[in-house]
């Protein structure tokens, strides 16, 4: 099967190493991943009353701009995202769909009054990116405390879990990938 | 409870709210559906079964509060969480008064939503478990059937039914082995306290000081050996029933303490000064002649009148011989199942023997006799030789029979020993002789405890 996971920076260039993120994503899903800047306009997603950005609108733009060979498209941003009913979201994904988005806005140490830590930020962003992409492959939240599909509403919870799937989630994912066209997952490697 | 087994229905007129919550719960692994208004919600509630409903207070047409009322009529066990667009305290309070589990304000903090749903699922699980446990209790209490078809027993059942519904103190009187504890349990299991414990204290089984700490509990260091604080039976019976068996054996000092507790439902632990309140229903039982005990100053008059509110007399088995076949077969079936032994009948001769016997130990003695017969008997029938007693030995001498003083003494001692279940101390005290003398007489007459 040919096709890629596209990793798309949105808004400002991020301080994290996008190349490293793309490589790790490729390893987790067994699909080549590349960084691809696209023309995404955040101002269309801005809500001036909440001073936040509608993640659903950004997902729609990602889908519009996605290259033809995109198996999945993942937006990475530093904007503060929300969906109308919730105060904020770390990210959003189309369950069993094509697009996902993750924000590092609420993953930053600075938000909690502690010194910035770019390495930690990169690890958190990676975990949330794999988590949201997991949803696009039909995975739901997992009770395993170390599984990347474990739900996290605090950054501490993100720090506690790992950046890989537990055996059960990996089995589900493998089945989905095989259906998609013969992608075989390698054993997890960091 | 598996998440995929939990059904959540989201009712909101805003498409973005429905979509976001739908996605949120789907990603969490729940079974979820959405409805845009009350009519759609009611239809979906009837089509499938749901556990949790998230309900917007403001809906077009039938509003959220009205819909909540209707949902509660359809299924009162549904956990309802109200969503309000702005902090409208009045409508939220109204929703809670109508039985909503909780409410959230839009926009919802993801962490709050996570906790809210987790608590709602837990609530649902606890309710289900509670229903299951209640059914189990009911099954267990049904298993302890009291058997009897004679008018005397039918009257007892009637009294149990009457008094169970009240919170009145009950005194159960009857000879040893007539089933006083069974009656106490029946009253408890038919009362509104049945989901709370019934706590039994055998007042005759403890020396005075131990009985005190048994009933009232004690603080750490209250006496030598009191290494930990311990709750007493009075405290443990809170909400339920306290069953004081052998109330006639309670020592004089304890009688005064007990009277105070019965009247105030308050007490302190031994060695403590914190006042503890306990709400219990009191049932007492005795085989003693309390009136005589009272006349002779061994039982306090005020306590007697306090516990003697509603009395149930249990007739001795010899006064309801018609129940013997019923009881014997009941025990036979029970032991056959427990021992896995295919004994299914009692021969007519054996039954005749059972009917002729006087049963000084009452139903308990009959139960033991059947158990022994089941052990020694050969399937499928219980025969007279399997029964452990000789009718002639136990039959009471009629007045015109000429007996020596020794014969009278022998049969009297034997009778008292049977009545006290061979409790030598109690038998000696009833006979007003010391224990050594009683042992000598047992040896002299070759008396043996029945198997």
- In this predicted model, which residue has the larger pLDDT, A40 or A189? A40
Nearest Cα to Cα of residue A76 among A13, A155, A141, A164: A13
User: Which of B352, B369, B394 is the endpoint of a domain?
Assistant: B394
* Length of chain B counted residue by residue: 451
Do B151 and B290 fall within a single domain?
yes
Q: Taking 70 as the threshold, does the pLDDT of residue B130 lie above it?
A: yes
Q: What is residue A131's predicted lDDT score, i.e. its pLDDT?
A: 96
Tokens of B438: 């009683």
Rounded to 10 degrees, the C-alpha dihedral B107/B113/B115/B119 comes to 120
Do B184 and B94 reside in the same domain of the chain? no
User: What's the ipTM?
Assistant: 0.82
Give A136's contacts in chain B (Cβ within 8 Å). Answer: none
Residue B402, pLDDT score = 61
Of A89, A95, A135, the CB nearest to B110: A89
Please report the pLDDT score of residue B385 as a whole number.
Answer: 86
> Residue B290, Cβ neighbours under 10 Å: how many?
21
Distance, CA of B94 to CA of B82 (rounded, Å): 11
User: With 50 as the cut, is the pLDDT of residue A189 above it?
Assistant: no
The pair of three-digit structure tokens given for residue B301, joined into one six-digit string = 């008059």
Which residue would you say has higher pLDDT here, B83 or A184?
Answer: B83
Do the domain assignments include residue B174? yes
pLDDT in tens, A15-72: 889 999 999 999 999 999 999 999 899 999 999 999 999 999 999 999 999 999 999 9
| pLDDT band, residue B384 (cuts 50/70/90) | confident
- B50 and B178 share one domain: no
Terminal alpha carbon distance of chain A: 24
Give CA–CA dist B142/B16, Å, rounded: 54
Q: Which of A132, A157, A168, A178 is the catalytic position?
A: A132
Strand A52-54 with A46-47, pairing: antiparallel
Q: Indicate the residue of A85, A153, A154 with minimum beta-carbon distance to B20.
A: A85
- Give A84 to chain B, closest Cα distance, Å: 6
Is it the case that residue A102 has pLDDT exceeding 50? yes
Contact flag B28-A88 (C-beta cutoff 8 Å): no
- Note whether B122 and B29 are same-domain residues: yes
B400 lies in some domain: no
Tell whether B152 and B297 lie within a shared domain: yes
B331 domain residue, yes or no? yes
The CATH number of the domain holding residue B113 is: 3.40.50.2300
Is A92 noted as a catalytic residue in this protein? Answer: no
Q: How many domains does chain B have?
A: 4
CA–CA gap between residue B196 and residue B208 (Å, rounded): 28
- Residue B451 located in a structural domain: no
- Please give the Cα distance from B72 to B42 (Å, whole number): 11
Last residue of a domain, one of B81, B100, B134: B134
Query: Could you tell me which of B87, B92, B67 has the C-alpha nearest to residue B9?
Result: B67
DSSP helix, strand, coil percent of chain A (3-state; round to 5): 40, 20, 45
Q: How far does A175 lie from chain B, in Å, by closest CA?
A: 18
The answer on B32 and B79 residing in a single domain is yes
pLDDT of A73 strictly over 90? yes
Chain A residues with CB inside 8 Å of B14's CB?
Answer: 84-85
Q: What angle do CA A139, A143, A144 make, to 5 degrees?
A: 95
Query: Residue B287: which CATH number?
Result: 3.40.50.300
User: Cβ contacts (< 8 Å) between B110 and chain A: which residues?
Assistant: 86-89, 153
Whether residues B158 and B284 share a domain: the answer is: yes
Is the CB of A151 inside 8 Å of chain B's CB atoms? Answer: yes
Query: Residue B399: inside a domain, yes or no?
Result: no
Q: Is A84 within 8 Å of B28 when comparing Cβ atoms?
A: no
Summary mean pLDDT of chain B: 86
Residues B274 and B153 in one domain: yes
Which among A51, A57, A59, A85 is the top mutation candidate for probing chain B, defined by the most B β-carbons within 10 Å of its own β-carbon? A85
Residues B351 and B259 reside in one and the same domain: no
Tell me if A141 and B28 make a contact (CB, 8 A cut-off).
yes
| Structural domain for B376, as ranges | 317-394
User: Closest Cα of chain B to A67: distance in Å?
Assistant: 25
Which chain A residues contact residue B20 at CB under 8 A? 56, 83-86
A vs B: CB pairs below 8 A: 58
Contact between chains at B27 and A135 (C-beta distance less than 8 A): yes
Q: Which residue has the higher pLDDT, B405 or B329?
A: B329
Residue B398 clears pLDDT 80, i.e. is over it: no
CATH 3.40.390.10 matches A4-181: yes
Q: Tell me how close the Cα of B25 comes to any Cα of chain A, in angstroms.
A: 9
Distance CA B299, CA B422 (A): 24
Answer whether residue B54 is part of any domain: yes
In a domain, B450, yes or no: no
Q: Judge if B223 and B346 occupy the same domain.
A: no
Residues from chain B contacting residue A92 (CB–CB below 8 Å) = 23
B28, B29, B108 member nearest A86 (Cβ) = B108
Is A56's CB within 8 Å of B16's CB? Answer: yes
| Contact (CB<8Å) A83/B114 | no
Q: Which residues of B touch A93 (CB under 8 A)?
A: 27
For B84-121, write each residue's pLDDT tens digit. Answer: 876 677 788 888 888 888 888 888 998 888 899 999 99
The predicted structure's pLDDT at residue B269 = 87
Q: Are residues B110 and B151 in the same domain?
A: no
CA distance A46 to B437: 103
Structure tokens that stand for B177 in this block: 């082995």
What is the average per-residue pLDDT within B38-65?
89
Contact call for A84 and B23, based on CB within 8 A: no
pTM of the model: 0.56
A153 → chain B, closest CA residue: B111
Give every CB contact of residue B240 below 8 A, 6+ residues apart in sequence.
B188, B193, B196, B197, B198, B199, B280, B281
The predicted pLDDT at position A67 comes to 94
Would you say residue B387 lies in a domain? yes
Residue A92, pLDDT > 70, answer yes
Buried b (16+ CB within 10 A) or exposed e, A116-143: eeeebbbbbbbbbbbbbbbbbbebbbbe
Final residue of a structural domain among B106, B134, B162: B134
């Amino acid at each position: 099967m040919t096709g890629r996971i596209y990793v798309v920076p949105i808004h400002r260039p991020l301080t994290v190493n996008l190349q490293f993120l793309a490589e790790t994503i490729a390893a987790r899903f067994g699909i080549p991943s590349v960084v691809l800047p696209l023309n995404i306009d955040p101002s269309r997603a801005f809500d001036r009353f909440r001073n936040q950005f509608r993640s659903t609108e950004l997902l729609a733009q990602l889908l519009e701009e996605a290259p033809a060979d995109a198996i999945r498209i993942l937006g990475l941003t530093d904007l503060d995202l929300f969906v109308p009913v919730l105060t904020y979201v770390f990210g959003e994904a189309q369950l069993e769909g094509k697009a996902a988005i993750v924000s590092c806005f609420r993953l930053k140490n600075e938000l909690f009054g502690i010194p910035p830590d770019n390495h930690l930020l990169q690890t958190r962003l990676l975990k949330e990116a794999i988590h949201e992409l997991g949803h696009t492959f039909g995975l739901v939240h997992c009770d395993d405390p170390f599984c990347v599909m474990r739900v996290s509403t605090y950054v501490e919870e993100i720090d506690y879990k790992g950046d890989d799937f537990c055996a059960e989630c990996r089995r589900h994912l493998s089945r989905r990938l095989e259906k998609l066209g013969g992608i075989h997952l390698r054993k997890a490697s960091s | 409870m598996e998440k995929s087994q939990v059904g959540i229905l989201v009712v909101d007129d805003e498409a973005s709210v429905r979509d976001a919550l739908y996605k949120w719960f789907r990603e969490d692994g729940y079974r979820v559906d959405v409805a845009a208004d009350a009519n759609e919600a009611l239809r979906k509630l009837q089509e499938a079964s749901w556990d949790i409903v998230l309900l917007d207070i403001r809906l077009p047409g039938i509003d959220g509060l009205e819909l909540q009322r209707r949902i509660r009529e359809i299924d009162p066990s549904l956990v309802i969480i109200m969503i309000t667009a702005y902090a409208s305290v009045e409508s939220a309070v109204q929703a809670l008064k109508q039985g909503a589990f909780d409410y959230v304000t839009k926009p919802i903090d993801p962490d709050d939503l996570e906790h809210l749903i987790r608590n709602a699922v837990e609530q649902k699980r606890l309710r289900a478990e509670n229903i299951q446990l209640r059914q189990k209790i009911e099954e267990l209490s049904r298993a302890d059937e009291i058997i009897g078809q004679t008018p005397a027993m039918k009257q007892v059942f009637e009294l149990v039914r009457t008094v169970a519904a009240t919170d009145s103190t009950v005194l159960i009187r009857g000879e040893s082995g007539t089933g006083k504890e069974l009656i106490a349990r029946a009253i408890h299991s038919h009362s509104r306290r049945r989901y709370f414990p019934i706590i039994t204290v055998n007042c005759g089984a403890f020396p005075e000081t131990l009985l005190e700490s048994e009933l009232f509990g004690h603080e750490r260091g209250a006496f030598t050996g009191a290494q930990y604080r311990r709750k007493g039976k009075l405290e443990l019976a809170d909400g339920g029933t306290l069953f004081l068996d052998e109330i006639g054996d309670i020592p004089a000092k304890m009688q005064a303490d007990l009277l105070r507790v019965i009247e105030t439902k308050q007490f302190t632990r031994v060695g403590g000064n914190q006042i503890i309140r306990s709400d219990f229903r009191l049932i007492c039982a005795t085989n003693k002649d309390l009136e005589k005990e009272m006349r002779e100053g061994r039982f306090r008059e005020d306590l007697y009148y306090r516990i003697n509110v509603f009395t149930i007399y249990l007739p001795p088995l010899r006064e309801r011989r018609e129940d013997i076949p019923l009881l014997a077969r009941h025990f036979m079936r029970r032991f056959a199942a427990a021992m896995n032994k295919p004994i299914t009948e009692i021969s007519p001769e054996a039954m005749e023997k059972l009917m002729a016997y006087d049963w000084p130990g009452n139903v308990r003695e009959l139960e033991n006799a059947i158990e022994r017969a089941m052990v020694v008997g050969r399937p499928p029938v219980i025969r007279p030789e399997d029964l452990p007693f000789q009718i002639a030995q136990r039959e009471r001498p009629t007045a015109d029979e000429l007996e020596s003083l020794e014969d009278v003494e022998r049969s009297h001692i034997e009778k008292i020993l049977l009545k006290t279940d061979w409790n030598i101390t109690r038998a000696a005290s009833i006979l007003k002789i010391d224990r050594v003398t009683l042992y000598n007489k047992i040896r002299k007459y070759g008396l043996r405890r029945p198997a």
